[in-house]
Structure 1
């Protein structure tokens, strides 16, 4: 945790917080001594002038203490909030640069918890550190010295009360700290179940699994609640225990002090000041114990945040990246490409070979789990290959910068993702400076122009999160339009026609062929339907990660058994 804070806190602000706290504690420590003198020299002797003088001095010290406390709170609060802000920014930036492997490893629900709850834990503890952790040791030492100066004989009471207090604190911490550490994992679980419930609410309703999901969430929620109740119940014992020990300490001080006063060995004012210093000493122990209870929870949160920030990228740019030359005609080639997921025994793709040039369309066909989406994910380097080479214009894409590679590729993934805003703002993702004319052209090619025109706001029509206010087919067409508006050399459509009817699918493919830009680019279409791939220049047939067919429709229809099996499963004999 201190590693996280050290790099992101202003040393001057921390010094300012410490300085203000020292001033506050100094003022607090002077008040009991002035009170003692007021009783001994003013009240006992009837010296009214001394009482007024001492009272004025106490008011002045109290005012300085309040101002110093305000300064400390200001620096502590602002630095804690800035630390949280910087951590959230760094986490978000880091996650944006993660490859698919890192996302799979850490999980989106856990990343959300780390960015929100874990950062909040560190913020809260940082405020405590800049206040209590500075205040408690100074007050403890200062009050101890002042108490000893005030009356040496009464300090013997602490030989009993302090060990008892320490024993109580250590016992509570022993049981509470592991509970606080486990709370973070239980928050992860709640986030996971709640997020799945929100994203899959339609599926849950369709299968009447409301009660099952409610029980599932109840179980996760109860697990967190039970642990939190145990942890905070133990911590809540600390304050009443401390008050009890303080009261017994005061009884011991009054008993001993009363005997000393009776024998004229001590003045009444000294007894009053000593009791105040005793309370400061015991409260200092309590503040330290509170910090030591909450620091492990923040430390657990810091470990989880550091795990994200220290995660090495699985896909790394080379030190001297090659630029892609600007040409009219481009080539894309896979040479003996193999790929397997991390820690997997079996390869997902084996010995994939094909070559494309600008103006050609490649269709990738195969059964579920054959490796179609994995193959196209290798092009923008969402994953890196295990062996072989992928060449663009003869250059190995692994020797180029990821950002340069992704500039020449426009990708529509399986799941159409739209962002909250408007249709216009979503299209700006593809081309930030796109004109209205370019937007309408992209929508026309994507077969989305008609339904967008019917909307009262047109391009400025609202888009809910994930495009919830549009149908599946409309979302796909808007996602396709966003990809088409981007000027790219390679267009990839990863099963992004699946929600379209046959007529719209056919019109879209015809429009892609007729469009001046896409007709001169490399187009890769991942599909499940034979009707979608028949017009492609080249069809690659995959079966369990192996290329079992490569050719056009007529060639594969005549001589490829796997392709013919897919055809027979989808079409009638007369249609074939």
Structure 2
């Protein structure tokens, strides 16, 4: 818990909250004393003037209590909400720089729960600590001292009452804490199924698995509900037992106090004050017990958050990154790569070099390692052995920011963000002009359908680009990459949703573009027509480079490439 909180809490808000809380406690302890004086010296002696004077003092102290309480709540809320804001920001920043391997350790639903629900648990505990946990022991000690001053003999009643409270709270915590911890994992499970249902709704309907998915969600939902009902029932059981103990304490104090008053060893006002202090003592124990029920749950949440923060990136951070050279090139030199925990290499002995103005195409069967290979260029993964060089510099000697400036990448799945076409294009270049955006759209063969939209560049893009077809989304994703001024442009099977004519027009426009002519273009493709006009073609098979050359060279001499051509000719027939 302290590790999560350290450096993220505003210390001045914490200090201010504690100071106002101390003022509130002192004033609260002083009020029963005034009440006792009114009864003993005002009502009992019939001195109206004293009652008015003491009443004004009570009002003044009450106002101070209210003001101190408001200030305490305000500062405690500021501190806890600020902590939540900082935690969420740090978690989001950390996750953004996760490698693909690190994402595999935390599924999306779990990361969502950790960023929302777990952070909320910590926020709740922090505000409870600043509002009550620190107040409870101070109030407990202060009320005990004040009660002892009123009547030392009657304080012996707490020897029975407090152990009884401790036993009740201990039993509740014993059964409730494990259930609170289990709730976080059950929340993960619920979020996972709910998210899969939303993102895969079309597949679910296509295969008529809606009943199965509803039952799956129902089981997870009921599991979470039963756990929640059980834990909150156990916690709720504490209230009647504590009420019984507090009522019994009041009866005991009244009974003993009546004897002391009858023997004239105690005044009525002191009895009233003692009962108030007794309730403050018992309430202090109640507050502490509630805190100790919540802290284990928050500790579990803190541990889950720390798991994210403690995850060391597989991509080592570069303290003094190398300077990127002006030359534009991409080179793989004896590169081998294996996924974390895998027995066999995913890529083996990859060698090629592409210079400025050249296009490299990568082709191969499903699972041959095409996407794995290009993921090494922006350092989504690091090679096990060998060197991946960007503009003549080993990518391992560069930091993420430098690599991202040089590489523009279009992934297999076209991803668009909710907003407008222009806001999506600005992801590629934040200060891009409308002319630059339109030029990129022209090259990507997207300008024609964008001009037909209401608002054109200001046309709305729904979440995930759901208001566009697959081909339109791909062309917009390509245009976004082309807006960027990069050295390396990578297209990971980004033409798959395009018809042959659009594919040809796009590749022709790429070759004719002046900016692209000064860069390296890497195209991953499945169709021979997509890769045929590349300057170099890498043929992959089971992670191994089984061919390198032009279309004509490979067509004549490479068996794997010939098989791909033959299979596509048969498909065309």
Give TM-score scaled by structure 1 length: 0.97
SS of corresponding position for 2:352? strand
**522, 529, 533: which one aligns with 2:527:** 529
Matches within 5 A, 1:101-500: 101-327=101-327, 330-500=328-498
8 Å CA contact 2:326, 2:391 repeated in 1: no
Q: What is the RMSD computed on CA atoms of the aligned residues?
A: 1.5
Residue 147 of structure 2 contacts residue 155 of structure 2 at CA under 8 Å; is this kept in 1? yes
Give the 3-state SS of the residue equivalent to 1:94 in structure 2. Answer: helix
After superposition, the Cα gap between the structure-2 partners of 1:574 and 1:452, relative to the gap in structure 1 and judged at 3 Å, is closer
- Please state whether the residue corresponding to 1:236 is helix, strand or coil: helix
Alpha-carbon distance in structure 1 between the residues aligned to 2:6 and 2:66? 28
Contact persistence 2:10–2:82 (CA under 8 A)? no
| Residues 253-305 of structure 1: per-residue CA shift (max 9 Å, x gap) | 11222222222222222221111111111100000001111111111111112
**Partner of 1:83 in structure 2?**
83
Q: Is the 8 A contact 2:190 2:217 kept in 1?
A: yes
Shift of 1:573: 9.7
Asked if 2 retains the 8 angstrom alpha-carbon contact of 1:340 and 1:386, the reply is yes
Please name the residue that 2:95 is paired with.
Answer: 95
Deviation at 1:461, TM superposition (A): 0.7
- Tell me, yes or no, if the aligned pair for 1:497 and 1:505 is still in contact at 8 Å: yes
Q: What are structure 1's unaligned runs of at least 5 residues?
A: none
Q: 1:541 Cα shift?
A: 1.2
Displacement, 1:178?
A: 1.0
Whether contact under 8 Å (1:361, 1:523) holds in the other structure is: yes
* Structure 1 residues 481-520: aligned runs within 5 Å: 481-520=479-518
The equivalent residue for 1:572 is 570
SS of the counterpart of 2:408?
strand
- Matches of 2:363 and 2:280, distance apart in 1: 76
Shift of 1:418: 0.7
**Paired residues of 1:317 and 1:399 also in contact (CA < 8 A):** no
Query: CA–CA distance in 2 between the matches of 1:504 and 1:171?
Result: 71
Tell me how far apart the structure 1 counterparts of residues 559 and 10 of structure 2 sit (CA, whole Å): 69
Residue 574 of structure 1 and its aligned partner are, at CA, apart by 9.6
Deviates more, 1:371-380 or 1:262-271: 262-271
Q: 1:6, 1:354 → 2: CA distance?
A: 49
Q: Does 1:543 align with 2:537?
A: no
Q: How many residues align?
A: 573
Change (3 A) 1:332 1:6: closer
CA distance in 1, matches of 2:265, 2:571: 116
Match of 1:15 in 2: 15
CA contact (8 A) 1:139 1:284 kept: yes
Which segment drifts farther, 489-498 or 354-363? 354-363
Q: CA separation in 2, counterparts of 1:429 and 1:6?
A: 34
Aligned-pair distance for 1:205?
1.6
User: Offset of 1:132 from its aligned partner?
Assistant: 0.4
Q: Is the 8 A contact 1:363 1:540 kept in 2?
A: yes
CA change 1:200–1:573 in 2 (3 A) is closer
After superposition, residues 63-82 of structure 1 pair within 5 angstroms as 63-82=63-82
- Are the counterparts in 1 of residues 13 and 78 from structure 2 also a CA contact under 8 Å? no
Conserved? CA contact 2:325–2:392, under 8 Å: no
Query: How many angstroms apart in 2 are the aligned matches of 1:331 and 1:483?
Result: 18
Select between 503-512 and 69-78 the one with higher mean Cα deviation.
503-512
